[in-house]
Every structure is written in C-alpha cells, then in structure tokens.
C-alpha cells in the first residue's frame, strides 16, 4: 500500500525561485494537510483541506499557496522561496471524523540558499 506519497524527497532552491511540492494519497481520505517540521518546534500546520474543493490557512501560511487538485492530490507551492522556508515538509491525510489518525508521507527536505 502506497499510503501518502510526496515528491520530491529532496530539493535545493536559490532565494526567489519557485517550486511545487506534490502530495497524493490512495486511501480515499477527504482531509489533507501540509505541515513543516523545524528543529525544536515540532510540526506546524501550513494549510489544510477538509474536503475536495476547500482549503484553509493553518498556523504558518505566509509565503505558501495550496491547490486541492482532486480528492487524491494536494500540492504546496512556494512562489518566491526564502531561507526561512528551509525545512522538512510533511503531507498528511485523514478521514473527516475528528478522532481519526493522520497518515503522513515521508517528507520533503527543502533547503533554500
């Protein structure tokens, strides 16, 4: 079972460049999320999508945009990358039911120089 698949696994960008992180899930989940993980800060929610066609800001949305392309796919775009966006990015999905667990991808390690 693939679960949640993220691409790419690693990426190095120069300041000002743009890129899109891709995420796809094959569990038929309605909700999808983007988190960033930084040392000593845990995971912080960037954006989430409760269902296809809807997106909402999380704790740290500035500098990012998202697209819920369909039920399976949820992409994260950096329009003009900054060194402060150096991080590990995780995509996750879950059922709509409030106590259902999040299923995470293996992450994208992004470095902005």
Footprint of another protein (CB under 8 A): 4, 31, 33, 35, 40-45, 48, 50, 56, 58-59, 90, 92, 94, 96, 98-99, 101-102, 104-107
Residue among 40 and 53 whose Cβ is closer to another protein: 40
- The CA distance from 52 to 85, in Å, is 26
Across 51-65, b (16+ Cβ under 10 Å) vs e yields eeeebeebebbeebe
User: What's the closest the beta carbon of residue 55 comes to another protein, in angstroms?
Assistant: 12
Residue among 4 and 110 whose Cβ is closer to another protein: 4
Q: Are strands 108-112 and 10-13 parallel, antiparallel or unpaired?
A: parallel
User: What's the closest the beta carbon of residue 15 comes to another protein, in angstroms?
Assistant: 26
User: What's the closest the beta carbon of residue 48 comes to another protein, in angstroms?
Assistant: 5
CB atoms within 10 A of CB 42: 9
């Amino acid at each position: 079972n693939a679960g949640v698949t993220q691409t790419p696994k690693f990426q190095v960008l120069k300041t000002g460049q743009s890129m899109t992180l891709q995420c796809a899930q094959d569990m038929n989940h309605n909700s999808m999320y983007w988190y960033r993980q930084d040392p000593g800060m845990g995971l912080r929610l960037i954006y989430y999508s409760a269902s296809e066609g809807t997106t909402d800001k999380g704790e740290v949305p500035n500098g990012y945009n998202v697209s819920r392309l369909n039920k399976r796919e949820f992409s994260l775009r950096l329009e003009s990358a900054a060194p402060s966006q150096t991080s590990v990015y995780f995509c996750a999905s879950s059922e709509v039911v409030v106590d259902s667990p999040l299923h995470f991808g293996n992450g994208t390690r992004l470095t902005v120089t």
